[in-house]
Amino acid sequence: MSEKELAQKSVEYRKKILKYIYQAKAGHTGGSLSCIDILNVLYNYTMNVDAARFDSPDRDRYIQSKGHTVEALYVVLASRGFFPESDLETLCKYQSHYIGHPTRKVHGVEQNTGALGHGLSLSVGTAIAGKLDKRDYRVFTVLGDGELPEGSNWEAALSASHYKLDNLCAILDKNTLQITGPTSAVCNTDPVDGKFEAFGWAVRHVDGHNIGELMAAFDALPFEAGKPSLIIAHTVKGKGVSYMENQLKWHHGVPDTRQYAEAIQELDLLEETLA
Amino acid sequence: MDATIENIGVSQRANLEVFSGTLQQLAQTDRDIIVVTSDSRGSGKLVPFGQQFPDQIIEVGIAEQNLVGVAAGLASTGKKVFAVSPACFLTARALEQIKNDVAYSNNPVKLIGISAGVSYGALGSTHHSLHDFAVLRTIHNLIVVAPADNFETEQAILLAADTGMPVYIRFGKKPMPLLSEEERTFAFGKGRIVREGTDITIIGTGETVAPALLAAEKLERANNISATVVSMHTIKPLDYDLLQNIAASGQPIVTVEEHSIYGGLGEACASFLIQNSLHNRFKIIGIPDEYTVTGSQTEIFNHYGISEEGIAAAALGLIG
């Protein structure tokens, strides 16, 4: 997919995230909108993954550590043919497989996540297996900046560099807000680049909503041979809907009918400008 | 000659050593066997394994959460992963990883809790795992096993390597006798009758089965009481058929475990019996609700009645 097509795809995904959260009356809107461009580029440009051959041992793996923004993952998987998009009509509803955090009951989901600070260790184990088996697959994981204080992240970061996992790429969705407030006020993890570099990672910064920058960063992997890569994606919580952007209440706020219509109208306008 | 731990059956190796030896055997023909350790290579008797199969041992350092997460990631690719760590830390510090990364995600990691129960004796309560049955019993999709002797340990490791389910296996450091020459069948979820009797049944698990057997022999010798002894090596799934049969015989039941009296083998059995209106006389022997006295594993066992005398006395109390 071209950069322009990907940009258009992101708008489509944003509308779908809002639609299904609106219908379900549940979900994590702000963070889904902040990480969707990253997932878009991963699934439509970077990763070797195919719904029809998802059991291939050579597929690239994606593990979503910040599991609460599962709506972003579900709309991307649906668009890649892992399941009919109409399944998302059941999102979070009684007996649905499409629950509010990633679950392997959904085709295309690699690991059950949602409790924070788990994705990186799972990714390290998967990447070590790739090295042991001399397979070329890569492992991608999206971390939230709010989950970084979990100690398991730092245990995993150490072992990733210890095992020289240059087949591992973590993407930090740095939207700077978490449920209580600014991440810097809750538990400041900056300078996060220096911390990961000190742990033996190669780090780059990108604008997490700039499709071209994301594509270029993924193209440049691994940033250094023998080191795991971290992409610090500077993002905006609620990106794409002006009244949601950088607003804490949209961490897991659900739009009402008027708000939903307003958001879709705004995204429709954006879509027109990209056409 | 009175029975002792040393002369019931044949005195053998520590279950821990049988574990590492069995794993070494398996790895000779199976490149998918992977050990993940948290600085437990020495205490897990895994140094020879690491020397022979350096590409099949992953060291994460003292980091139990990462240990279990990494093991789950490895297992998701088809590796047969044994995550080895002291039982106390493995099952407390990494409980959420066991719940989510292993059991909920169905990554069939073999969680190996070494130096379990009060094996670390005088090192104190930080190093005792007297909670692991209780917490792991509540986690769906996890088999919980405490082998009693070398035979059960070897079988448990062989079965675990082959099963597609997550398994937790715990054992201690002390050499264990072979508990039965005759009963040599083993399956997860099936209790093993190591002694047949008619008057009372003693159900033990892990390293408490040996003193249970001694108690049974003492009861026979001193009191002419015939006791059945069961090694209930699988805490979950519990062998309900066997429990039903024991209860139907009307015999009183004593359970013995190297675990808190809360939430372990005894309460699991009691729950089944009561809910099925099987009201046999019943006694749970285990570690009471306190931080244990100082001492060796044997001294702590003796202190709390997990011993030939203590179990026999409890049995007599029920029969009396």
Residues A59/A265, Cβ–Cβ less than 8 Å: no
Q: Which residue blocks in chain A are alpha helix, DSSP H? A: 3-24, 29-41, 70-79, 119-132, 151-162, 183-187, 192-198, 211-219, 257-274
**Which residue from A minimizes the CA distance to B97?**
A118
Look up the pTM and report it: 0.96
Contacts with A129 from chain B: Cβ below 8 Å: 73-74, 76-79
From its phi and psi, is residue A234 left (phi > 0), alpha (psi between -120 and 50) or beta? beta
Task: Measure A63 CA to nearest chain B CA, in Å.
Answer: 10
Contact yes or no for A57 and B73 at CB 8 A:
no
Count CA atoms within 13 Å of residue B35 on its CB side: 34
Contact yes or no for B69 and A118 at CB 8 A:
yes
Q: Is the pLDDT of residue B286 over 80?
A: yes
Contact yes or no for B70 and A104 at CB 8 A:
no
For B237-270, write each residue's pLDDT tens digit.
Answer: 999 999 999 999 999 999 999 999 999 999 999 9
Q: Chain B interface, mutation test: which of A121, A133, A147, most B Cβ atoms within 10 Å? A: A121
For B48-99, write each residue's pLDDT tens digit.
Answer: 999 999 999 999 999 999 999 999 999 999 999 999 999 999 999 999 999 9
pLDDT for B7 equals 65
Residue type, B315: A
Nearest to A132 among B55, B66, B105 (CB): B55
- Chain B, 76 to 115: residues with Cβ < 8 Å from chain A are 76-79, 96-97, 100-101, 104-107
Contacts with B58 from chain A: Cβ below 8 Å: 128, 163
pLDDT along chain A (275 residues), means of 10: 97 98 96 98 98 97 97 98 97 95 97 97 98 98 97 98 98 97 96 98 98 98 98 98 96 95 97 93
Q: Chain A interface, mutation test: which of B34, B36, B56, B65, most A Cβ atoms within 10 Å? A: B65
Portion of chain B with pLDDT greater than 70, in percent:
97
For B181-227, write each residue's pLDDT tens digit.
Answer: 888 899 999 999 999 999 999 999 999 999 999 999 999 999 999 99
Contacts with B71 from chain A: Cβ below 8 Å: 125
Residues A131/B79, Cβ–Cβ less than 8 Å: no
Q: Select from B273, B315, B17, B305 the least CA-distant residue to B149.
A: B17
**Band of pLDDT at residue B107, cut at 50, 70 and 90:** very high
Task: Measure B104 CA to nearest chain A CA, in Å.
Answer: 7
> Complex ipTM above 0.85?
yes
Task: Measure A72 CA to nearest chain B CA, in Å.
Answer: 20
